[in-house]
Amino acid sequence: MDIDAAVKRGRGYLFVDGFAEMAAGVVFALLGGVLLLGGLMPAEPLLSRILATGTGVLIVKAAGFVAAALAIWWFKDRFTYPRTGYVRQKRISVSQLFVLARNAFLVLALPLLVLGAAMAFVPAMRGALFSIPIWAPALLGGVWGIPCYWLGEWTGLRRFRLFGIGILFAGVAVGAVQLLVGVPNALASGFPAQALSRTLVAMGSLTVLCGAAFALSGLVTFLHYRRENPMPSGRES
């Protein structure tokens, strides 16, 4: 018996029915919608646009996470567990949570802080601000794609590895489209607003695309799971 494969199969049970992917897809689509609205909203003070978009993102992330967790629990309790049973995952200790939070910070936040500090204190790096609509989507694709690929390795589910690669390439593709449009002119009137709009539209487009892919994958997984695991006789579906 392959113990490693059995462990990964237990970890992947959370995603066996597609509910987690569909919930993640909806949250991603809503986040992308907020970013797109921020990029397309009429011209107004730059700080107001940043605050409005940032507030919308925080609200969607907080409310979406809670709603997604509750929805996943509700559907699994009434649909999945009666069919294929309940798997209790190994409890995570406080020290493991600390290590997870530390690693998430190092992977996600630290590069952004270093880049921001470099732009603030190294004059030569400030030119990168003019090309932010190009490299921001590629960076976001890496920030999401690498953990998604790792999730595929951790659970043994190939579709997440494919998602990770696809998200990374999608981020690069969105950035390439922005490059074809052209780098904003630093001397153009309203450059900060123009750069912000293009950046939000690019990142919003990538986020909506990822959300649609997750939702579609979850729906396909759900239909396959329902076909392969009918409700036991004597119980209502």
Q: What is the DSSP string of 10-41?
A: HHGGGGSSSHHHHHHHHHHHHHHHHHHHHHHS
DSSP assignment of 129-169: GGGHHHHHHHHHHHHHHHHHHHHHHHHT-HHHHHHHHHHHH
Per-residue pLDDT band at 232 (split at 50, 70, 90): confident
Q: What pLDDT is stored for residue 42 in this prediction?
A: 72
| pLDDT digits 0-9 by tens, 16-51 | 999 999 999 999 999 999 989 988 877 667 677 778
What's phi and psi for 87, nearest 5 deg? -115, 120
pLDDT in tens, 186-228: 444 445 677 778 888 888 999 999 999 999 999 999 999 999 8
Whether 193 is in a domain gets the answer: yes
Q: Which of 56, 49, 68 lies closest to 31 in space, CA to CA?
A: 56
Residues 6 or more apart whose CB falls under 8 angstroms from that of 191 comprise 130, 184, 185
Q: What average pLDDT does the segment 102-121 reach?
A: 59
The answer to whether residue 130 is domain-embedded is yes
Residue written as token pair 């940032």: 54
Does a structural domain hold residue 116?
Answer: yes
Q: Does residue 233 sit within a domain? A: no
Dump pLDDT digits (tens) for 55-100.
888 888 888 888 998 999 899 888 888 887 766 556 556 676 666 6
Whether 82 contacts 231, CB under 8 Å: yes
Residue 16 domain-assigned? yes
Q: Does any domain span residue 39?
A: yes
If one counts the domains in the chain, the total is: 1
Total-model pTM = 0.77
Residue range(s) defining the domain that contains residue 224: 3-228
Structural domain includes residue 234: no
